[in-house]
Amino acid sequence: MVARVIPVEPFDLVIFGATGDLARRKILPALCRRYAEGQMPPEGRIIGAARTELSREDFHTMVSEAFDEFLGASAPDAALRAEFFERLDYITIDALGDDGWSDLSGRLRDDVVRAFYFSVGPSLFGPLATGLGRFGLVTPETRIVVEKPFGNDLETARALNQTLAAHFNETQIYRIDHYLGKETVQNLMAVRFANILFEPLWNARFVDHVQITVAETVGVGGRGAYYDKSGAMRDMVQNHMMQLLCLIAMEPPYSFEPDAVRDEKLKVIHALDPVEPRQVVRGQYGGGADTASYAEEVETPDSNTESYIALKVGISNWRWKGTPFYLRTGKRLRARTSEIAVTFRDPPHSIFGEDAPWKANILVIRLQPDEGMTLKVMIKEPGPGGMRLKDVALDMSFADALGEDMHIPDAYERLIMDVIRGNQTLFMRGDEVEAAWAWTDPIIAAWQKTADTPKPYDPGSSGPDEALKLIHLDGRSWREIR
Ligand code: NAP
């Protein structure tokens, strides 16, 4: 199956932090891919910007090496690279200095969409916004893309929102949460709102509970210094998992317009119950036969930061009161998997007798690996041996359903094109981010107050035993991480 590609309008995109990991690994490969597919028009221009002094050719060499390193067999061929590089420039600029800005201004066109991608550390988000304003680079058609983390708590998020608002309207600010760019996450909205099947059942009367799992096998690696100040709660729950929860729990928006969707997500965040300390389990991985412990990796022997967190979250509204949402995420776990599992309640009465082997219907939405969906249903086991029941999985892998040739775009491909198109649906609004922090901050404050220490867990396990108890106490169990 070949996806329909509609080219976006011509644009100038400046990537601040173009020599950094994210730009080389994700942003530039995503743009090259969109160019190859014909979505980035030939009139599109990209300017990489960072402090390192590089010629245009040096920068092309750096990007070419990144393509080889990160795209492997799907790296663009020489002809495509040459075409793409014709549209790729580089400028030396220090976000904190005065040099380079007027040179940058001279390279930008006035009659096309202008986007500035802040792919730099969060301490530079404010100075960059101020620099763009101070040097007169903001036109009505200008957008900024702001990476995560957006603040470290409510206070810092609010301050950053205010700094950005001094130079940009909310409609010009694209706060990225790359989870929202994943095909399956968008598909969640299609499943819920383009089918009649699920919506009547999508509430506390029929849904027993929801599990959201984001498990990684890797440790903190080179991000140790950043991660140790953040932890799983700030790094994953406040943003990515919160977004997933919102998409599962929100009311149907009146349209797919950005603010219609974001209004509904915001209502979910406002309806989240405060989380008691007994509803949270924090963990930290220990060392393995050939892997370092978390504390060794971050070089802080007494680190109190969690590399794992599990929470039980309640939502106080008519739709969800009484249906818990269990969230867990962690590093160095058994497998790399992200999924949302909606477990339905048992039917009110079994006509097959009390002893029928009953298994709940579960809708599993897999975000990775092998994006797709599974619906667990009960059927009669084939054969003449009477009415024996069995649960089977109606399985849909997107790769199978859409054909092997169908390229599932990386989240950044979709999101950057949305920036150029001016579509903010998959980006977080300022009030949404603040509301998420307002819910998160007291949870963090509570464990800081009680000097809670993370529970140790073995690398390659499913997390600390205490997390099993968290859900077992409710008579439920986690789905296996595999
Ligand atoms: P990184 O590898 O440390 O790159 C930072 C970039 O910023 C470099 O290009 C650096 O180049 C540039 N820079 C630093 N100081 C500068 C200054 N004063 N003026 C202009 N440029 C400056 O970081 P990263 O991993 O790419 O992450 C970038 C942002 O994306 C961060 O906010 C991060 O939290 C977020 N993010 C990253 C990932 C990821 O997978 N890497 C994932 C999600 C979010 P020079 O030293 O040459 O100036």
Question: Does 440 sit in the ligand 1 pocket, CB within 6 Å?
Answer: no
Bind-site residues for NADP(+): 17-24, 51, 148
Binding site for substrate: what residues are annotated?
178, 182, 216, 235, 331
Task: Note the pTM of the prediction, 2 decimals.
Answer: 0.95
Is any atom of ligand 1 closer than 6 Å to the C-beta of 147?
A: yes
Mean pLDDT on 308-324 = 98
Q: Which residue's alpha carbon is nearest to atom 6 within ligand 1?
A: 17
For residue 402, pLDDT beyond 80: no
What span, in angstroms and rounded, lies between the C-alpha atoms of 231 and 226? 9
pLDDT tens figures, 209-236: 999 999 999 999 888 889 999 999 999 9
pLDDT value, residue 364: 95
Residue with the bigger pLDDT between 18 and 225: it is: 18
335: nearest Cα among 480, 227, 190: 480
Q: Quick one: tokens of 397?
A: 């892998």
Q: Mean pLDDT highest for which of 251-265, 351-365, 382-396?
A: 251-265
Whether the domain at 11-147 and the domain at 180-406+450-472 fall into the same CATH topology: no
Residue pLDDT, tens place only, 117-150: 999 999 999 999 999 999 999 999 999 999 999 9
Whether the pLDDT of residue 52 is over 70: the answer is: yes
Catalytic residue among 60, 167, 209, 240: 240
Mean model confidence pLDDT for the chain: 94
Q: What is the 3-state secondary structure (H, E, C) of 218-285?
A: CCCHHHHHHHHHHHHHHHHHHHHHHHHHHHHHCCCCCCCCHHHHHHHHHHHHHHECCCCHHHEEEEEE
- The answer to whether 245 and 212 have CB atoms below 8 angstroms apart is yes
Q: Which of 140-144, 165-169, 186-190, 229-233 has the lowest mean pLDDT?
A: 186-190
Which residue has 């504390």 as its token pair? Answer: 295
User: How far is it, in rounded angstroms, from Cα 92 to Cα 103?
Assistant: 9
What was the pLDDT predicted at 28?
A: 98
Q: Compute the distance from residue 192 Cα to the ligand 1 centre, in Å.
A: 36
How much is the pLDDT for 404?
64
CA-CA distance, 294 to 301, in Å (whole number)?
A: 9
Q: Closest Cα to atom 7, ligand 1: which residue?
A: 17
Taking residues 32-58, report their average pLDDT.
97
Specify the pLDDT at position 350.
86
Does the domain at 180-406+450-472 match CATH 3.40.50.150? Answer given as: no
Residue entry with tokens 């420039």: 89
Q: Which residue has the higher pLDDT, 103 or 4?
A: 103
Known catalytic membership, residue 240? yes
Whether 148 lines ligand 1, by a CB cut-off of 6 Å, is: yes
C-alpha of residue 274 to centroid of ligand 1, in Å? 34
| CATH number for region 11-147 | 3.40.50.720
What does the domain layout of the chain look like in residue ranges?
Answer: 11-147, 180-406+450-472
Distance CA 256, CA 193 (A): 10
Contact 209, 324 (CB under 8 A): yes
Phi, psi of 30 (to 5 degrees): -65, -40
Of 449, 482, 452, 448, residue with least CA distance to 466 = 452
Q: Rounded distance, CA 100 to CA 89, Å?
A: 14
What is the Å distance from ligand 1's center to 421 Cα?
25
